[in-house]
Amino acid sequence: MHPLILYGVPFSQPVRAVMWLLLLKKMPFDLVLTNPGSKGDNGSRHPDFLAKNPAGTIPCLEERETGFTLGEAHAIMTYLARTHGWEDVYPSVPTAQARIDAYLHYHHRNLREASVGLVAPAIRKDLNIPDVVQQGARKTLSAALTAIEQSSLAGHGYLCGDSVTLADLAAYVEIGQLQPQFTNVFDFSPYPNVQRWLTRMQQVAGHDAVHVVLAELGDISQAAPDMDQIRAANIKALQALKLELSRL
């Protein structure tokens, strides 16, 4: 069997979610480095890439055997789980699956705001994300964290019950990146259930390998990393990924 191709970079949260799933399920893949937003060769806005994913975003999956390509992290994850029968992370029982789908839809305009409000402005000063946008994103994120603190995580260990599902992987790549050991741009003290869930998620196989890029960059709360630091972090992340894939 030929390994799947995944287009992206380790620094992208949705790419990390797909990589984490593949490592957790011990499914080999080749990561083809693709620069988000770039029109150059190996860029996500290059015509060759747009032919694979017209949205022009990473991640994008490609099956070597069939030529099938697919964008959108959550579509990729549910497709892989369905086609490989990964019932543990995406049960086929309609009600259980629907709960996970509901989170995956909710995610985009809620938990995903972590990137817009907290991480992107600290790393990409060049984007000049306006204060009003950042404040709006912070507010949305806080409301979403309060909701999961008081509902899903109040009675269960994970977002959709008592074991890890696709919902947890998708949520953690956004929320987890804010922790003190990574970017350190958010205070989790008002959210004890979320904090316990974050600790549990760190035990899930593949966590460390996909988070090397953030561990390397470290605390960005005071100063933005420069291009050399980002490049070095990506190189370390790729080495760690290669090692992990060689052990599958």
DSSP code string of 6-24: EEE-TTSHHHHHHHHHHHH
Burial of 5 (0-12, 13-18, 19+ CB in 10 A): middle
Q: Which is nearer to ligand GSH, 140 or 193 (CB)?
A: 140
DSSP, res 43: B
CB 202, min distance to ligand GSH, A: 22
Q: Which is nearer to ligand GSH, 149 or 211 (CB)?
A: 211
CB 18, min distance to ligand GSH, A: 8
Q: Interface with ligand GSH by CB under 6 A: which residues?
A: 12-14, 36-37, 44-45, 56-59, 72-74
Contact 119, 183 (CB under 8 A): yes
Q: Which is nearer to ligand GSH, 18 or 164 (CB)?
A: 18
Q: Which is nearer to ligand GSH, 73 or 149 (CB)?
A: 73
CB 60, min distance to ligand GSH, A: 8
CB 154, min distance to ligand GSH, A: 27
Q: Which is nearer to ligand GSH, 45 or 156 (CB)?
A: 45
CB 50, min distance to ligand GSH, A: 10
Handedness of CA 123, 127, 129, 130 (dihedral sign): positive
CB 43, min distance to ligand GSH, A: 9
Contact 78, 108 (CB under 8 A): no
**SS3 of residue 35 by DSSP:** strand
Contact 25, 13 (CB under 8 A): no
Handedness of CA 182, 186, 192, 194 (dihedral sign): negative
- β pairing state of 69-71 and 60-62: antiparallel
β-bridge mates for residue 32, sequence order: 7
CB 189, min distance to ligand GSH, A: 28
Number of Cβ atoms within 10 Å of the Cβ of 93: 9
Q: Which is nearer to ligand GSH, 52 or 74 (CB)?
A: 74
Find the length of the chain. 248
Cα first-last separation, the chain: 14
Q: Which is nearer to ligand GSH, 59 or 206 (CB)?
A: 59
